[in-house]
Amino acid sequence: MQNSDEEVTFIQQFKTRSLSLPAGAVIIDEGLPSEDLYTLYSGWAFRFKTLSDGRRQILNFLLPGDFVGLQEKMADVSPHGVGAVTAVSLCRFSRIGLWELYRNHPGLGYDVTWIAANQKDVIDENLLSVGRRNATERVASLLVQLYKRVKVIGLAKGSTIDFPINQQHIADSLGLSLVHTNKTLRRLMKMGFHEISGGKLTMCNPAALERVADYYAAEERVRPLI
Amino acid sequence: MQNSDEEVTFIQQFKTRSLSLPAGAVIIDEGLPSEDLYTLYSGWAFRFKTLSDGRRQILNFLLPGDFVGLQEKMADVSPHGVGAVTAVSLCRFSRIGLWELYRNHPGLGYDVTWIAANQKDVIDENLLSVGRRNATERVASLLVQLYKRVKVIGLAKGSTIDFPINQQHIADSLGLSLVHTNKTLRRLMKMGFHEISGGKLTMCNPAALERVADYYAAEERVRPLI
DNA sequence: CGGGAATTTGAGCCCGCTCAAGAGTGGTGG
DNA sequence: CCACCACTCTTGAGCGGGCTCAAATTCCCG
């Protein structure tokens, strides 16, 4: 999956400009038309949906390299929102641009589909968690999943990673209440599986956590760069 | 999104052959390498994942026109299985074929991404259900979603559609137990929202069910044909 | 008409929920 | 430098939605 020189050049001019937003910002509003497609360059974000009474479900977390707004590009109205966890920097692609990319650089179009399919894997795993795992298994599998994803993009320092999300984020992504999420995290921590403090997560025993989670996903694969 | 004559011709030769399988067949095995990409021509199928102790989560149902195996094409090993609900007929695309499609017919490549994004919408909605809706809301939203999807592909007869899945399928897709799924379905039926019998679903009051489900998704859109 | 699968219903329990309150932890301004 | 305030995390108590276990009943299909 090596990009050609020509492709790299094209990508450069294709990116119309970059964009920075502060922590907590709304990147894409639920139910609003959205014109733009982004790549997340740095920081953490998340996609979410809400019900009319305010219950919120986080669909998946977005890490550097992920797309923001691919689905929205395909619809008229965004079926979900995107929020920034930390301060984020994004690279904007123009609307015309995506179509041109497919036409002039089908190799890159293929890569786009590849990345989108990869994100779907993550969502599938989350759906399995929320639907069939109990609270302990859910928390364990989320920790393992995020750890592996961060590691693959080269941002892990040993067994420690930046971990900017709070317990409310975790609860909303696992379909649990805040209180029960806290109790479950605490129990796993006391059992020596992991540590969270100061915005860092340390995995003390990743293999054991994977066993707890019944999480046997294939290795995360290196993605094409766009 | 009109396909050109040339594209249509290409699609024809691109389909290497079609394939029929009986009800209950395994189309793609979980954890096995999969060589093929299919389009579902007729019948119902479903994607699923299982945990090692047998708990199963249905990720989404596949209706005629949906892709089978796009993700698998992108990975080395299929991260999920695909099963047939009814007898199904599939059109097989060869492995080389997909890459050629992107290279020679970027318009079709764009359509592939479009369809994949649409399927992701469905999964997102399911994740919202399983994570944040109670049992009644979940069942209601599944009925509404399937009804709308069938309607959009032109297979609804008035307010009645073929409904080949059983309560175990529904339970596995909603993250509920079989028993509780039955009780919930029965309650909704007694309240006059819907009827299921003889493999048919009739929506007696779709608007009311949508309200019960807190389901306000945008209209299903017509998809490009491949 | 026999038999396996799917559906239905009841009884009782437990995991995860809600409610409530306290303890850190920063950030801000006087 | 400290008082204050908002946000996050923590812990306890008690309840209830959805679970498991168990047993009919109905539905197909050969």
A·B CB contacts under 8 A: 151
Residue B121 sits at the chain A interface (C-beta within 8 Å): yes
CA of A197: nearest nucleotide by C1' is D9
B120 inside 8 A of chain A by CB: yes
What per-residue confidence (pLDDT) applies to A200? 95
At residue A1, the pLDDT reads 44
Whole-number distance in Å between A199 CA and C19 C1': 29
Query: Which residue from B72, B76, B17, B65 is spatially nearest to B49, judged by alpha carbons?
Result: B72
Predicted pLDDT at A157: 94
Chunked into runs of 10 residues, chain B (226 residues) has average pLDDT values of 58 66 91 79 96 95 90 74 95 75 83 86 96 98 97 94 98 98 97 95 96 76 61
Alpha-carbon separation of residue A175 from A99, A142, A158 (angstroms): 36, 12, 30
Q: Which residues of A touch B80 (CB under 8 A)?
A: 124
List of residues 6+ apart from A190 with CB closer than 8 A: none
pLDDT tens column, A179-221 = 999 999 999 999 999 999 999 999 999 999 999 998 876 555 5
Q: Which residues contact B97 (CB under 8 A, 6 or more apart)?
A: B14, B16, B37
Q: Estimate in Å the CA A58 to C1' D7 gap, whole number.
A: 20
A175–B112: do the CB atoms touch at under 8 Å? no
Q: What is the pLDDT of residue A42?
A: 94
Per-residue pLDDT at B1: 45
Placement of tokens 């961060």 in the chain: A150
Mean pLDDT along residues A128-143: 98
Computed over every residue of chain A, the mean pLDDT equals 87
> Taking CB atoms and an 8 Å limit, are A216 and B52 in contact across chains?
yes
Is residue B126 within 8 Å of residue B173, measured between CB atoms? yes
Q: Which of A57, A76, A112 sits opposite B113 (nearest CB)?
A: A112
Res. A5: pLDDT tops 70: no
How many angstroms separate the CA atoms of B209 and A194, rounded? 44
Are the Cβ atoms of A102 and B106 closer than 8 angstroms?
A: yes
A218, B75: Cβ pair inside 8 Å? yes
Q: What pLDDT sits at residue B57?
A: 98
B222, closest residue in chain A (CA to CA)? A75
Best CA proximity match to B62, nearest among B31, B10, B21: B21
> Minimal Cα–Cα distance from B165 to chain A, Å?
18
Q: Is the Cβ pair A128, B70 closer than 8 Å?
A: no
Strand partners, B90: B19, B40
Furthest CA-CA distance within chain B: 55
Beta bridge partners of B81: B48
pLDDT tens column, A43-61: 999 999 999 999 999 999 9
For residue B150, give every residue at least 6 positions away whose Cβ sits within 8 Å of its Cβ, in sequence order, or none: B63, B156, B161, B162
A17: contact with B, CB 8 A cutoff: no
Is residue A71 within 8 angstroms of chain B, CB to CB? yes
For residue B157, is it left (φ>0), alpha (ψ between -120 and 50) or beta? beta
Sheet arrangement for strand A15-21: A15-21, A88-93, A37-42, A67-68
**Chain B residue with minimum CA distance to A215:** B51
**Whole-model pTM?**
0.90
Mutate to test the interface with A, among B53, B112, B132, B180 (most CBs of A within 10 A): B132
Residue nearest to nucleotide D7 (CA to C1'): A166
Of B80, B127, B218, which has the smallest distance from its Cβ to A75's Cβ? B218
| Smallest CA–CA distance from A120 into chain B, residue | B120
Strand D at less than 7 A from CB of B196 = no
- Strands A160-162, B56-62: pairing kind: unpaired
- Residue of A166 and B1 predicted with greater confidence: A166
Residue in this structure with the two tokens 């017919």, named with its chain if needed: B105
